[in-house]
């Protein structure tokens, strides 16, 4: 979890320099994010939006929170009594990514209510183990502001944290158990009632087509610079069809899945170390168990960060791969089919290739989808993903051996 640096007032000069640097960074970020609404929001405005929700006490403070690439997330503190505060997550939904905020919030209220009930029936704590949507005072689940932005609020899960990298292997294992269990909890969710919040989200064949169009259009004149990366994708065109074909033929089942299972989308309990609450439910849709498994491996089993510039730091850690495999299969509680288990390495490779392709598409199109914090950020991200794919290909037999133990 990133912490804001403290400014120590030991000399006025140093302080002035820091303030100058801060504004320089802020200006760069605003420019990089296309004058993003995110950075230009006034605290007073955020507190005013917060006041429309059913919060306990009075909204007192609000600060940016977390490292998601899509939504703008803030931590809100409300004053309940002189010595007591209550915290919430306030989020601006990215409605360029999620075109149907109403449908999206219907999914989230439906899924969270369902999860709370399932968790309570199993003797768990529904207030901590599932996201809790805070309604508006008028009973709606989100607020549409006059400037066309959409806002929602969640109960802040106290005593837990999300991580941007695996610090302890046990944490990765616990996240696997929790993501597997999440899928199990939603096994009976009425899948047909779910809106497809991002059509074709993990349809790799469709992603490939969009990528090819971006290469052809080359609106930013960046294709020549990334010829090697383009070739990398085209050399693996056949792979892109494998999971889609298996879903269509029914060889692997369609399930209600999370679809965005990176490590920072799970909260780990400070005391027990268990994966206490799965968050970021925007993409809960019918999908494949291999997507959830694969996306976690893509992010968490990588020895480097998703945006690491030094590619020598990138590889697929087979110990972490084995640990996650064990946890996920256990978490799914015997619900994975033999075919799904056999295809787990392919799930990992495809989610990594697809994500790299998405970063590259965004780079070619001018970085309009994923938030970036420096020039070529999406290109750096794409390169780590492709490096990880290559390493998986080199370790393919070992990955299969690890998985075959469970057949
Ligand atoms: P994004 O879609 O942009 O990734 P997330 O919903 O994942 O947004 O939220 C961003 C971060 O905010 C998470 O990684 C997590 O650290 C934190 N967060 C989100 N919801 C909660 C919550 N209910 N309680 C505690 N922390 C949360
Ligand atoms: C986005 O929202 P966040 O940061 O958890 C993206 C995922 C990508 C991921 C790459 C809705 O996830 O699909 O795998 O970035 N979410 C969406 O880090 O596109
Ligand atoms: Mg997230």
Question: pLDDT value at position 29?
Answer: 39
Query: Which secondary structure element, helix H or strand E, spans residue 45, and what is its range?
Result: helix 43-50
Nearest CA to ligand 2 atom 1: 69
For ligand 2, is residue 306 a contact (CB within 6 Å)? Answer: yes
Name the nearest CA neighbour of 301 among 317, 323, 314, 312: 317
pTM: 0.91
For ligand 2, is residue 283 a contact (CB within 6 Å)? Answer: yes
**Which residues are paired to 255 by β-bridges?**
287
Nearest CA to ligand 2 atom 13: 260
The answer to whether residues 352 and 367 touch, using CB atoms and an 8 Å cutoff, is no
The answer to whether residues 87 and 156 touch, using CB atoms and an 8 Å cutoff, is yes
Question: pLDDT value at position 41?
Answer: 79
CA-based angle 224:226:229, to the nearest 5? Answer: 135
Residues 6+ apart with CB under 8 A from 246: 252, 339, 343
Tell me, what DSSP letter sits at residue 122?
Answer: T
Q: Report the separation in Å between the CA atom of 326 and the middle of ligand 1, taken as the mean of its atom positions.
A: 26
For ligand 2, is residue 395 a contact (CB within 6 Å)? Answer: no
Residue 54 burial (10 A CB sphere; 0-12, 13-18, 19+)? exposed
Q: Which ligand is nearest to the CA of 97?
A: 2
Question: pLDDT value at position 24?
Answer: 37
For ligand 2, is residue 118 a contact (CB within 6 Å)? Answer: no
Question: pLDDT value at position 116?
Answer: 98
Name the nearest CA neighbour of 96 among 156, 38, 162: 38
Tell me, what DSSP letter sits at residue 133?
Answer: B
Question: pLDDT value at position 262?
Answer: 97
**Which residues are paired to 90 by β-bridges?**
74, 153
The answer to whether residues 89 and 75 touch, using CB atoms and an 8 Å cutoff, is yes
**Tens-digit pLDDT profile for the chain (407 aa)?**
333 333 333 333 333 333 333 333 333 333 334 333 444 579 999 999 999 999 999 999 999 999 999 999 999 999 999 999 999 999 999 999 999 999 999 999 999 999 999 999 999 999 999 999 999 999 999 999 999 999 999 999 999 999 999 999 999 999 999 999 999 999 999 999 999 999 999 999 999 999 999 999 999 999 999 999 999 999 999 999 999 999 999 999 999 999 999 999 999 999 999 999 999 999 999 999 999 999 999 999 999 999 999 999 999 999 999 999 999 999 999 999 999 999 999 999 999 999 999 999 999 999 999 999 999 999 999 999 999 999 999 999 999 999 999 99
Q: Report the separation in Å between the CA atom of 72 and the middle of ligand 2, taken as the mean of its atom positions.
A: 13
Nearest CA to ligand 1 atom 5: 280
Q: Report the separation in Å between the CA atom of 136 and the middle of ligand 2, taken as the mean of its atom positions.
A: 27
Q: What ranges make up the beta strands (E) of 82-205?
A: 84-93, 143-144, 150-155, 160-161
For ligand 2, is residue 353 a contact (CB within 6 Å)? Answer: no
Q: Report the separation in Å between the CA atom of 2 and the middle of ligand 1, taken as the mean of its atom positions.
A: 13
Name the nearest CA neighbour of 133 among 109, 165, 160, 101: 109
Q: Report the separation in Å between the CA atom of 323 and the middle of ligand 3, taken as the mean of its atom positions.
A: 22
For ligand 2, is residue 377 a contact (CB within 6 Å)? Answer: no
Q: What ranges make up the beta strands (E) of 126-260?
A: 143-144, 150-155, 160-161, 255-257
Question: pLDDT value at position 23?
Answer: 36
φ and ψ at residue 83, rounded to 5 degrees: -110, 10
Residue 188 burial (10 A CB sphere; 0-12, 13-18, 19+)? exposed
Q: Report the separation in Å between the CA atom of 280 and the middle of ligand 2, taken as the mean of its atom positions.
A: 9
Atom of ligand 2 nearest to the CA of 298: 14
């Amino acid at each position: 979890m990133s912490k804001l640096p403290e400014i120590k007032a030991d000399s006025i000069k140093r302080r002035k320099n820091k303030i100058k640097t801060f504004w320089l960074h802020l200006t760069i970020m605003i420019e990089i994010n296309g004058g993003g609404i995110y950075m230009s929001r006034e605290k007073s405005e955020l507190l005013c939006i917060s006041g429309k929700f059913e919060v306990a006490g009075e909204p007192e403070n609000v600060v940016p929170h977390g490292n998601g690439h899509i939504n703008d997330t803030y931590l809100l503190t409300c004053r309940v009594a002189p010595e007591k505060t209550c915290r919430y997550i306030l989020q601006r939904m990215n409605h360029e990514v999620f075109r149907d905020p109403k449908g999206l919030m219907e999914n989230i209220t439906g899924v969270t209510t369902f999860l709370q009930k399932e968790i309570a029936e199993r003797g768990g704590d529904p207030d901590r183990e599932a996201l809790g949507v805070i309604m508006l005072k008028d009973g709606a689940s989100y607020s549409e502001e006059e400037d066309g932005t959409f806002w929602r609020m969640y109960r802040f899960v106290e005593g837990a944290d999300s991580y941007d990298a695996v610090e302890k292997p046990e944490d990765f294992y616990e996240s696997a158990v929790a993501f597997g269990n999440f899928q199990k909890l939603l096994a009976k969710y009425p899948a047909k009632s779910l809106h497809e919040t991002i059509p074709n989200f993990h349809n790799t064949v469709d992603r490939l087509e969009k990528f090819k169009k971006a290469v052809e259009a080359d609106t930013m004149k960046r294709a020549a610079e990334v010829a090697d990366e383009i070739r990398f994708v085209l050399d693996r065109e056949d792979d892109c069809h494998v999971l889609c074909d298996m879903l269509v033929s029914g060889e692997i089942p369609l399930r209600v899945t999370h679809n965005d299972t990176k490590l920072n989308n799970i909260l780990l309990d400070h005391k027990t170390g268990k994966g206490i609450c799965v968050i970021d439910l925007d993409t809960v849709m019918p999908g494949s168990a291999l997507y959830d498994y694969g996306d976690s491996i893509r992010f968490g089993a990588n020895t480097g960060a998703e945006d690491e510039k030094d590619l020598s730091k990138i590889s697929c850690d087979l110990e972490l791969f084995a640990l996650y495999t064990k946890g996920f299969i256990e978490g799914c509680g015997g619900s994975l089919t033999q075919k799904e288990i056999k295809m787990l390495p392919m799930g990992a490779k495809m989610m990594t290739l697809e994500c790299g392709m998405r970063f590259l598409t965004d780079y070619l199109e001018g970085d309009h989808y994923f938030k970036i914090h420096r020039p070529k950020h999406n290109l750096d991200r794409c390169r780590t993903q492709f490096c990880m794919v290559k390493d998986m290909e080199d370790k393919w037999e070992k990955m299969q051996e690890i998985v075959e133990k469970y057949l």
